[in-house]
Amino acid sequence: MRRQLKLSNIDYQVLASALRENSGYHYATRWYLDWEPLPYQYAFHHIPIKNTTFLAGIGSGKTASVSASNVIDCLTLPGFRALNASITAKQAELAFQMVDTWRENISRFANTISDIGLRPYPTITFWNGSTYEFRTAGQGAKFIRGSEYDRINYDEPGLDPDGEAIRVLRGRLRGKRPDGSSRMARMDVTGTPTAAPWFRERFENGLRGGQFATPETLKYYRSMRITTYDNTHLTPEQIALIEAEYPPEMVAVEMRAEWPDFGISTFPHGHIQACVDRDMNDAMEIALRPENGMVKAGYEEEEWPRVGHVFWKTPVKNGHLYVMAGDPGVDVPPRRNSPCIMVFDITKMPAEMVYFHWASGKGSYDPFLQSYKRAVEEYRPLAKGIDATGTQKALADLGFEKVGIQMDSIHFGGQKDELINSLLVALTSHDLRYPMLSGLISQLQNYNRDDDRDIAQDLVMTLAQIAYLMRRTAGEARVAVPKKNNFFNRLQRTSNAGRIR
């Protein structure tokens, strides 16, 4: 229910000073958000060019920059419409969480908000009719079509391999506000550098001295690179602790906001992306955040900031065939030795991911065992794989008995080369279908079989097991089914019995 609001004389004075022509942005952020912008955050708000690209290191204050800038625009311009969009809803809603924290803690700011809606996506309505929305764009920005906005931020755009959403979102920046004034039409693109070519080209277009920059491109694009080290609110100790967690190549990308150099990776990037099916992300979005409020059963997801999805589950389908694999571990994503379980539907090709759990071990194998058991009981896979080498073999022998999992798992000790070869064939043949899972894609892109001693690879090895099992199991099923014998039924009975035939 909307509140009737009345601002004070001081509010009106602060808001008047915050208009861009009056250069009082920092007065408004102090008054309403108790937040003092750093010089580059002030500059970001005042960029006069309407296509901006903001490369950001971890902890550089990117989310605060975007959130505060859009909030002040909403407060000062009646009927202003702002949108924070991303590949996933969770990423898009990070800005909402920041704005909502300001609302909870600062009464002067809370008094400017007349309404907050959470379904089907968070929307904040301000005292003057302005709105700030936070939602997933969907593949090709399919969820944003038909609306008009003053300003859009496309968050973590590097997860979008082709940049089609940018073209659609740009088309939403048009029209007039209720008072007849023209909409601002500003498109911000903010995030960590990735291998997406369009993202790098857009950045270079707006960077003086950039590879693709010309006097013409600089009329329409403006870019800035802000590193972790630029945030003077971080202490040297805090920065050192972050550095200690990252290998050198991650420091370059995640902290210095430099474009990644994957070197000679084992899996071609084009084929990795060809197996990504963004429609799966959109189906999850529709199932969990429907317009009619009726959430579909059997769909689950969990996503962490900067880590991405750590859990993904779609419903079991009667009569379908599944294989599963697991890589035990005791650490926490995205660190190496974090446990992982995957299940794929192999009824038809390409095989489709239906269960993904990048679990938090927190020093124990129990989270892995419990998730593995859940997947076995729900999907009744034809084959269960586990990377059981060294101490992990003891886990398979003893831990599985503890939680009541029948011991028919295929152990892959000493078969690493064969597993990687199976995955390479599956990826280049596009026999796998998985949603946009940033952790999985990152590990695949960074993996080099000739030098994999110090890189996280648990997700790679779990997917490699899946690819191996597909060749050994799904291949037989696909050949046998057209012969009209009862091989399919025998496989299903075998699955239900918990054995491999």
CA 64 to CA 42: how far, in whole Å? 11
Kindly report, residue by residue over 326-337, the tens digit of the pLDDT.
988 899 998 888
Taking each helix axis from N to C end, the angle separating 9-18 and 25-33, rounded to the nearest 10 degrees, works out to 140
Average pLDDT over residues 192-199: 89
- Is 387's pLDDT higher than 80? no
Average pLDDT over residues 216-244: 94
Average pLDDT over residues 81-97: 92
CA 385 to CA 382: how far, in whole Å? 10
CB 436 within 8 A of CB 88: yes
The whole-chain average pLDDT of the chain stands at 87
Write the CA distances from 202 to 120, 189, 198, 224, integer angstroms.
Answer: 31, 9, 6, 11
Residue 327's contacts (CB-CB under 8 Å, 6 or more residues apart) are 339, 340, 386, 387, 458, 459, 461, 462, 465
Q: What local confidence, expressed as pLDDT, does residue 153 receive?
A: 97
CB 190 within 8 A of CB 159: no
CA 370 to CA 12: how far, in whole Å? 57
Dihedral sign for Cα atoms in the order 361, 400, 465, 312 = negative
Average pLDDT over residues 427-431: 93
CA 337 to CA 364: how far, in whole Å? 11
CA 285 to CA 293: how far, in whole Å? 12
CA angle 366, 371, 376 (to 5 degrees): 125
- Is 422's pLDDT higher than 70? yes
Kind of pairing, strands 432-433 and 351-358? parallel
Kindly report, residue by residue over 257-273, the tens digit of the pLDDT.
999 876 667 888 889 98
Domain ranges of the chain: 10-255, 269-497
CB 68 within 8 A of CB 41: yes
Question: Out of 108-122, 209-223, 446-460, 471-485, which region has the weakest mean confidence (pLDDT)?
Answer: 471-485
Q: Which residues pair with 327 in a beta bridge?
A: 340
Kind of pairing, strands 340-345 and 300-304? unpaired
DSSP label at residue 404: T
Closest by Cα among 157, 175, 174 to 166: 157
- Band the pLDDT of 446: cuts 50, 70, 90: confident
- Band the pLDDT of 144: cuts 50, 70, 90: confident
CA 358 to CA 100: how far, in whole Å? 29
Q: What's the whole-model pTM score?
A: 0.78
Per DSSP, the three-state class of 154 is strand
Question: Out of 115-119, 281-285, 291-295, 393-397, which region has the weakest mean confidence (pLDDT)?
Answer: 393-397
Whether CATH 3.50.50.60 fits 10-255: no
- The number of CA neighbours under 13 Å toward the Cβ of 137 is 27
- Band the pLDDT of 143: cuts 50, 70, 90: confident
- Greater confidence, 249 or 465? 465
DSSP label at residue 182: B
Share of the chain above pLDDT 90, in %: 61
- Greater confidence, 144 or 406? 144
CB 322 within 8 A of CB 344: yes
Residue type present at position 397: D
Kind of pairing, strands 300-304 and 308-313? antiparallel
Q: Which CATH class name applies to 269-497? A: alpha beta
CB 155 within 8 A of CB 191: yes
Q: What local confidence, expressed as pLDDT, does residue 392 receive?
A: 55
Q: What local confidence, expressed as pLDDT, does residue 108 receive?
A: 94
CB 229 within 8 A of CB 187: no
CB 170 within 8 A of CB 157: no
DSSP label at residue 95: H
Q: What local confidence, expressed as pLDDT, does residue 414 receive?
A: 65
Give yes or no on whether 10-255 and 269-497 have one common fold. no
CA angle 456, 453, 400 (to 5 degrees): 60
Q: What local confidence, expressed as pLDDT, does residue 225 receive?
A: 96
Question: Out of 190-194, 358-362, 441-445, 487-491, which region has the weakest mean confidence (pLDDT)?
Answer: 487-491
Q: What local confidence, expressed as pLDDT, does residue 51 receive?
A: 97
Write the CA distances from 364 to 37, 311, 356, 360, integer angstroms.
Answer: 42, 18, 19, 9
- Band the pLDDT of 493: cuts 50, 70, 90: very low
- Is 191's pLDDT higher than 70? yes
- Band the pLDDT of 490: cuts 50, 70, 90: very low
Average pLDDT over residues 317-333: 92
